[in-house]
């Protein structure tokens, strides 16, 4: 772990979080990451230098134990302790309620993304890239090479760049992830998506996440190519993942042999065995039948 203070910015490289997903009533970080303190915020970056968490430290921040998390689809989610609501643990069996920025069928009407401090945090991130790049340009000592590399990576990963990367994920999957199995909460939704089929069997009228397509399965070659592209997509941050979500809405509708093939290939190609995180898991939806 190395720390550097550059003017009003403090960066701690290579932090090591928990290796096991767990349920606790206080903020916990998983995997390996870099932390940066700047102004009223702490920014946590994954190993690719992409922002993953923002925590407010000022008086305006809704609650000291709450944070923003960015998903691989580049959506921000606010983790609420229930400071607005009561009974989060009783209702969900979880200490935190992830609140997405877009409208959902949530039981709660309050939207943390309308809070001034949360809006300001996202604006702050939006502006920090050029600052990081100019600081990187001033570093010349060979022993600070890792810090320079981080500042360059983080500086280049602007809001626009992160959006483009999320678009790339959609192109790799040839699908848009509209929903994850609820049990993905047991790994804090840190799953690598792998599409083994499209559509679903029923296309239920009430469903708002369906693609509207009939069920069709991806070929084994397509699954392998998708995994190779995903490996490249996650890059050095692959180490922080140990769980896979087989999509899309009814992976159980694929043939049993193909499901096993996909699981086995994912385990091998994505180097799950070498993950920093322990206890790998596989998630998939199965329709009523």
200 binds ligand SF4 (CB under 6 A): yes
Q: Report helix, strand or coil for 130.
A: helix
Site string for ligand SF4, 68-97 (x = CB under 6 A): ------------------------------
Select 70 or 218, whichever has its Cβ closest to ligand SF4: 218
Q: Taking contact as CB under 6 A, which single stretch among the options 16-24, 194-202, 231-239, 252-260 is the one that binds ligand SF4?
A: 194-202
Select 28 or 201, whichever has its Cβ closest to ligand SF4: 201
Sign of CA dihedral 141, 146, 147, 150: positive
209 binds ligand SF4 (CB under 6 A): yes
Tokens of 99: 């609140």
Q: Taking contact as CB under 6 A, which single stretch among the options 15-23, 48-56, 83-91, 197-205 is the one that binds ligand SF4?
A: 197-205
DSSP state of 50: -
Q: Taking contact as CB under 6 A, which single stretch among the options 18-26, 64-72, 129-137, 198-206 is the one that binds ligand SF4?
A: 198-206
* Contact predicate 194/184, CB 8 Å: no
* Orientation angle between helical segments 220-234 and 159-173, nearest 10 degrees: 160
Q: Taking contact as CB under 6 A, which single stretch among the options 97-105, 186-194, 199-207, 253-261 is the one that binds ligand SF4?
A: 199-207
203 binds ligand SF4 (CB under 6 A): yes
154 binds ligand SF4 (CB under 6 A): no
Q: Which distant-in-sequence residues (6+ apart) come within 8 Å of 139 by Cβ?
A: 147, 148, 151
- Which of 265, 244, 269, 256 has the alpha carbon at shortest distance from 194? 244
């Amino acid at each position: 772990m190395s720390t550097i203070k550059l003017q009003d910015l403090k960066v701690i490289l290579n932090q090591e979080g928990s290796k096991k997903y767990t349920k606790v009533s206080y903020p916990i970080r998983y995997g390996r990451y870099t932390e940066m303190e700047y102004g009223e915020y702490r920014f946590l970056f994954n190993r690719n230098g992409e922002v993953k968490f923002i925590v407010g430290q000022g008086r305006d921040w809704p609650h000291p134990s709450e944070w923003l998390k960015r998903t691989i689809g580049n959506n921000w989610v606010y983790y609420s302790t229930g400071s607005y609501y009561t009974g989060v643990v009783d209702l969900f069996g979880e200490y935190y309620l992830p609140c997405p920025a877009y409208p959902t069928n949530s039981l709660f009407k309050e939207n943390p993304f309308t809070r001034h401090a949360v809006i300001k945090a996202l604006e702050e991130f939006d502006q920090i890239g050029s600052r990081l790049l100019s600081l990187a340009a001033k570093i010349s000592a060979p022993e600070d090479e890792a810090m320079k590399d981080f500042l360059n990576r983080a500086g280049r990963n602007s809001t626009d760049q992160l959006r483009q990367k999320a678009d790339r994920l959609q192109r790799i999957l040839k699908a848009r992830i509209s929903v994850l199995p609820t049990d993905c909460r047991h790994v804090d939704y840190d799953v690598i998506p792998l599409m083994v089929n499209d559509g679903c069997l029923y296309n239920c009228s009430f469903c708002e996440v369906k693609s509207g397509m009939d069920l069709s399965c991806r070929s084994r070659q397509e699954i392998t190519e998708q995994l190779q592209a995903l490996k490249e997509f996650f890059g050095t941050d692959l180490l922080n993942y140990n769980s896979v979500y087989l999509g899309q809405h009814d992976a159980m509708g694929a043939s049993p042999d193909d499901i096993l093939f996909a699981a086995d290939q994912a385990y091998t190609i994505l180097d799950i065995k070498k993950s920093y995180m322990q206890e790998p898991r596989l998630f998939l939806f199965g329709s009523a039948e």
